[in-house]
């Protein structure tokens, strides 16, 4: 039994763990990935490039936290206990308080050819390059929406990729309004601008089709032109990962976990911080994590001292999400034969006949494959306005031994 269990070792989870451990609580952090850092700080612990990440990892090393990596939480047999599958088998984890810092995933929208190999998420390609994929000299089109596109393009370019262009679906007018509000982030913006000098940035433009036989060969853009490329890095901003929160019965509104002022969810002693509570970026994730950790440690007054920063970051997040709101035309992207559910190969035409995801699931198996709707969920939400109605254990595919263990 530990005092605090944190699911997710990204910035929010680490900040929560740090604050709780600093107060003398016994803390365990668990993550599916082989190392801590989440997506944004992937690889930063071993080879730091960001001073902020380095500072946080130093803080973490200064307190007593147990980190369990390569473990996927798949089931809550009863409140206060979680089961996680690791390479050594199932681990039963008991806790007094829980922090869900499960982060976010890119939103993927289906378009003709999006299932071809070498069509990836923007963060997806970045993750692959960070973990060993040589990208030097490869022609890359970066497309979709959100600030991530710029960061990914700059990163890939820094690793020698030939970034042909960035296609951002948001209009120039929207982007200009946002830029005015970027005062506090000026230095970041300048440094990105320098790294991306000479790369074409097309606003109000998106990829309408990817072409190729066995893998990607070229893409067609909405603003005209067919471009030969090796990789398409395409993601439409981010969607919070809420399936574990839903499994635990936490209230989820508009796709984000609802929390009170101390980051507590609708379930007592279950907290949530970071992108899971709404897309807001690194700084908001950190401050939410700190508030959650302090609140669990009973330091509510100290937690309050972070409220002002959190409020500022939430305002920034709101503006960001408005700027990169998806345009209606993107709903026309899939052709009738375009696959929407990649696990079960369910086409757009087969889905249009249904009124809800539940009905579509029963009739077509959409969202019932290994990813359990993690990919097509964000797409059908945008295309049809459907939201998942129920989450059932296991929330991830696990080995049969693990399932047997979970009912023992």
Partner 1 sequence: MPETVTVAVNGVSVTMPVGSMVSAAILKTGVTTFRRSATGEPRGPLCGMGRCFECRVTIDGEEHCRSCQTVCRDGMDVRTDG
Q: What is the footprint of partner 1 within residues 137-166 (CB under 8 A)?
A: none
Span interacting with partner 1, options 18-26, 127-135, 264-272, 356-364, rule CB under 8 A: 127-135
Span interacting with partner 1, options 26-34, 93-101, 171-179, 297-305, rule CB under 8 A: 26-34
For partner 1, which is the closer residue by CB, 246 or 345?
A: 345
Pick one of 8, 37, 110, 121: the residue that binds partner 1 (CB under 8 A).
121
Pick one of 1, 55, 133, 349: the residue that binds partner 1 (CB under 8 A).
133
Least distance (Å) between residue 184 CB and partner 1:
28
Report angle CA 152, 158, 164 to the nearest 5 degrees: 65
Q: What is the footprint of partner 1 within residues 293-322 (CB under 8 A)?
A: none
For the chain, how are helix, strand and coil distributed in percent, rounded to 5? 35, 25, 40
Query: Counting contacts by CB under 8 A, is residue 131 touching partner 1?
Result: yes
Do 6 and 103 meet the contact criterion of CB atoms below 8 Å apart? no
Span interacting with partner 1, options 103-111, 174-182, 286-294, 387-395, rule CB under 8 A: 103-111
Least distance (Å) between residue 118 CB and partner 1:
6
Do 212 and 116 meet the contact criterion of CB atoms below 8 Å apart? yes
For partner 1, which is the closer residue by CB, 54 or 115?
A: 115
Cα separation, 222 vs 206, whole angstroms: 5
Least distance (Å) between residue 231 CB and partner 1:
10
The total number of residues shown for the chain amounts to 408
What the block records as the tokens of 154 is 């700059």
Least distance (Å) between residue 256 CB and partner 1:
17
Nearest to 169 by CA among 144, 201, 194: 144
Do 378 and 107 meet the contact criterion of CB atoms below 8 Å apart? yes
Cα separation, 107 vs 358, whole angstroms: 20
Q: What is the footprint of partner 1 within residues 181-240 (CB under 8 A)?
A: 214-215
Nearest to 215 by CA among 134, 348, 120, 337: 120
Query: Counting contacts by CB under 8 A, is residue 398 touching partner 1?
Result: no
DSSP track, 248-278: TT--EETTEE---TTSB-SSTTEEE-GGGGS
Query: Counting contacts by CB under 8 A, is residue 120 touching partner 1?
Result: yes
DSSP track, 336-387: TT-EEETTTTEEHHHHTT-SSHHHHHHHH-TT-STTTTTTHHHHHHHHH---
For partner 1, which is the closer residue by CB, 97 or 276?
A: 276
Span interacting with partner 1, options 108-116, 192-200, 318-326, 348-356, rule CB under 8 A: 108-116
Least distance (Å) between residue 156 CB and partner 1:
13
Report angle CA 57, 59, 65 to the nearest 5 degrees: 85
Kindly give the pairing relationship between strand 218-221 and strand 226-228.
antiparallel
Span interacting with partner 1, options 123-131, 258-266, 268-276, 314-322, rule CB under 8 A: 123-131
Cα separation, 145 vs 22, whole angstroms: 38
Query: Counting contacts by CB under 8 A, is residue 246 touching partner 1?
Result: no
Sketch the per residue contact string, 331 through 370, with partner 1: x for CB under 8 A, - otherwise.
Answer: --------x--xxxx-----------------------xx
Residue 344 burial (10 A CB sphere; 0-12, 13-18, 19+): middle
Least distance (Å) between residue 109 CB and partner 1:
12
Query: Counting contacts by CB under 8 A, is residue 325 touching partner 1?
Result: no
Pick one of 1, 46, 173, 228: the residue that binds partner 1 (CB under 8 A).
46
Pick one of 118, 145, 174, 276: the residue that binds partner 1 (CB under 8 A).
118
Cis omega (within 30 of 0) for bond into 394:
yes
Interface contacts to partner 1, rule CB under 8 A: 32-35, 39, 43, 46, 70, 105-106, 108, 115-121, 123-129, 131-134, 214-215, 241, 339, 342-345, 369-371, 374-375, 397
């Amino acid at each position: 039994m530990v005092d605090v269990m944190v699911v997710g070792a990204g910035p929010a989870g680490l900040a929560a763990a740090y604050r709780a451990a600093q107060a003398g609580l016994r803390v365990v952090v668990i993550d599916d990935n082989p190392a801590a850092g989440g997506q944004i700080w992937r690889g930063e612990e071993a080879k730091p490039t960001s001073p902020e990440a380095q500072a946080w990892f130093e803080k973490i090393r200064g307190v007593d936290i147990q980190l369990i990596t390569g473990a996927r939480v798949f089931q809550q047999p009863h409140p206060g206990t979680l089961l996680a599958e690791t390479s050594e088998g199932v681990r039963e984890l008991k806790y007094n308080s829980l922090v869900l810092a499960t982060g976010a995933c890119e939103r993927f929208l289906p378009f003709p050819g999006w299932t071809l190999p070498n069509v990836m998420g923007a963060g997806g390609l970045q993750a692959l390059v960070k973990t060993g994929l040589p990208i030097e000299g490869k022609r890359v089109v970066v497309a979709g929406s959100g600030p991530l596109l710029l960061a990914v393009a700059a990163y890939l370019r820094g690793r020698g990729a030939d970034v042909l262009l960035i296609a951002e679906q948001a209009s120039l007018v929207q982007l200009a309004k946002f830029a005015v509000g970027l005062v506090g982030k000026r230095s970041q913006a300048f440094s990105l601008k320098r790294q991306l000098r000479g790369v074409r940035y097309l606003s109000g433009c998106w990829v309408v089709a990817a072409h190729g036989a066995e893998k990607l060969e070229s893409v067609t853009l909405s603003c005209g032109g067919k471009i030969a490329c090796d990789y398409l890095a395409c993601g439409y901003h981010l969607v919070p990962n809420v399936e574990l929160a839903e499994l635990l019965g936490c209230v989820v509104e508009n796709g984000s976990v609802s929390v009170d002022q101390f980051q507590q969810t609708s379930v007592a002693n279950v907290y949530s911080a970071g992108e899971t509570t709404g897309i807001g970026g690194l700084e908001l994730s950190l401050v939410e994590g700190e508030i959650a950790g302090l609140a669990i440690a009973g330091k509510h007054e100290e937690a309050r001292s972070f409220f002002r920063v959190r409020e500022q970051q939430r305002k920034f997040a709101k503006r960001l999400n408005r700027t990169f709101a998806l345009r209606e035309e993107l709903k026309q992207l899939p052709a009738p034969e375009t696959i929407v559910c990649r696990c079960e190969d369910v086409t757009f035409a087969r889905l249009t006949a249904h009124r809800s995801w539940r009905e579509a699931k029963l009739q077509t198996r959409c969202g019932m494959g290994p990813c359990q709707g993690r990919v097509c969920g964000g797409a059908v939400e945008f295309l049809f306005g459907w939201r998942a109605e129920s989450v059932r254990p296991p929330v991830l595919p696990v080995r049969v031994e693990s399932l047997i263990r979970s009912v023992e």
